[in-house]
Structure 1
């Protein structure tokens, strides 16, 4: 007789129960794969369901439309992390230069070097065809991202570490090199003559150095 503390037997019923709990995450992972690979318009919900190993009906239990599925993918992989990033910013105890470097590196590790970076490329290519999704992406990703960078720059100015700059334009000093790296990833051979010699981490450090050279207050 099994002990009262032993794990339940691995029966078809228990496997189905575990799989039911895992389905939303599996569907979001499958949707991310296909949206990035094929784009929003070309991805069919039955393909996503098949990729996740469930029926189309099961997908619609969790996500009533392809648009809602896409929004859930964006929230899972990018916009849902802003609360965490806000906490990190508020609790950061180093200099603003260190914070900006941390921002560069963390963005690359958590978004730029992952499949989630493909969502930005998807929106750039399909925004005109799906204005409602473009509006959602702007509200959920672009605007909070800009606000986060503005707060880092304002922190530096308030502490006398950064010179006074126009925040609305200075945001793009930080974002432009990151956008280039993200967009160049799938076509590195076209953008960079020797992609095998290109190190994204070294590029990020160089760009952080370059941005900080323009921002730091210089001793007189």
Structure 2
């Protein structure tokens, strides 16, 4: 089987190299302080090459969000649409998969970056809401509604329950990317253990005998 020439492989890799360089600089310096030419230099390409793929710094940011977050939401939505079984099992599986794919690594860094920078860039904040927050809430809300219609869940307030599902993940992401490399606030439990405790509490409640 023929293989791509080194030059072609290098060209194909450039978009990801540029995204990796942009993310590293956004974390180091902040979105506002990072210049496009710095991203190009970090990736080892000319500024014109950067603009060929991403015409502006805003487009770089949007591509990072799509690459690291939006794609996983779409995959989860496709999985949910084909699933036929207990919704509680699917919710647990999706929460664990979400942490494995998003909570750690670059995707979690992007989330943390957005939470610190969004208020200064309303247009990018709106983009993040449209691409990440709203689809995530719609996905989880739809699953809860399916469980209610099937008689598996009681009639809980759907929007509030979605926030109860998401909030611990955001907390763990902020903790991971703020204190994860330091000993000042050591972990006493693994993220998966915390997720399991959260889902058990959410699905079964705290009372030994529910009233």
Structures share fold, TM-score greater than 0.5: yes
Contact residue 18 and residue 40 of structure 2 kept, 8 A: yes
Could you tell me which residue of structure 1 aligns to residue 83 of structure 2?
Answer: 92
CA 1:103–1:6: 2 relative to 1, 3 Å: closer
Question: Take 1:21 and 1:51, find their aligned partners in 2: how far apart are those partners?
Answer: 17
Cα drift, residue 197 of structure 1: 3.1
Question: Take 2:169 and 2:183, find their aligned partners in 1: how far apart are those partners?
Answer: 15
CA 1:6–1:139: 2 relative to 1, 3 Å: closer
Cα drift, residue 47 of structure 1: 2.2
Query: Which entry has the higher C-alpha Rg, 1 or 2?
Result: 1
Q: How does 1:115-130 map to 2 (within 5 A)?
A: 115-130=106-121
Question: C-alpha offsets along residues 159-214 of structure 1, whole Å, 9 cap, x if unaligned?
Answer: 11111011121111101111111111123379997524331111111111111124
The answer on 1:69 being equivalent to 2:69 is no
The answer on 1:200 being equivalent to 2:200 is no
Contact residue 49 and residue 56 of structure 1 kept, 8 A: yes
Contact residue 153 and residue 162 of structure 1 kept, 8 A: yes
Contact residue 36 and residue 115 of structure 1 kept, 8 A: no
Question: Take 2:57 and 2:114, find their aligned partners in 1: how far apart are those partners?
Answer: 15
Could you tell me which residue of structure 2 aligns to residue 48 of structure 1?
Answer: 39
Q: Which structure 1 residue ranges, 4+ long, deviate > 6 Å from structure 2?
A: 189-193
Cα drift, residue 56 of structure 1: 1.3
Calculate the TM-score normalised by the size of structure 1. 0.85
SS of equivalent residue, structure 2 residue 32: coil
SS of equivalent residue, structure 2 residue 156: coil
Gaps of 5+ in 1: 9-13
Question: C-alpha offsets along residues 35-59 of structure 1, whole Å, 9 cap, x if unaligned?
Answer: 2343211222222212222111100
Question: Take 1:195 and 1:135, find their aligned partners in 2: how far apart are those partners?
Answer: 35
Could you tell me which residue of structure 2 aligns to residue 185 of structure 1?
Answer: 176
Question: Take 1:53 and 1:94, find their aligned partners in 2: how far apart are those partners?
Answer: 49
Could you tell me which residue of structure 1 aligns to residue 140 of structure 2?
Answer: 149
Question: Take 1:190 and 1:51, find their aligned partners in 2: how far apart are those partners?
Answer: 24
Contact residue 184 and residue 191 of structure 1 kept, 8 A: no
Backbone CA RMSD of aligned residues: 2.6
Question: C-alpha offsets along residues 45-84 of structure 1, whole Å, 9 cap, x if unaligned?
Answer: 2222122221111000011000011001100111133322
Gaps of 5+ in 2: none
CA 1:174–1:61: 2 relative to 1, 3 Å: same
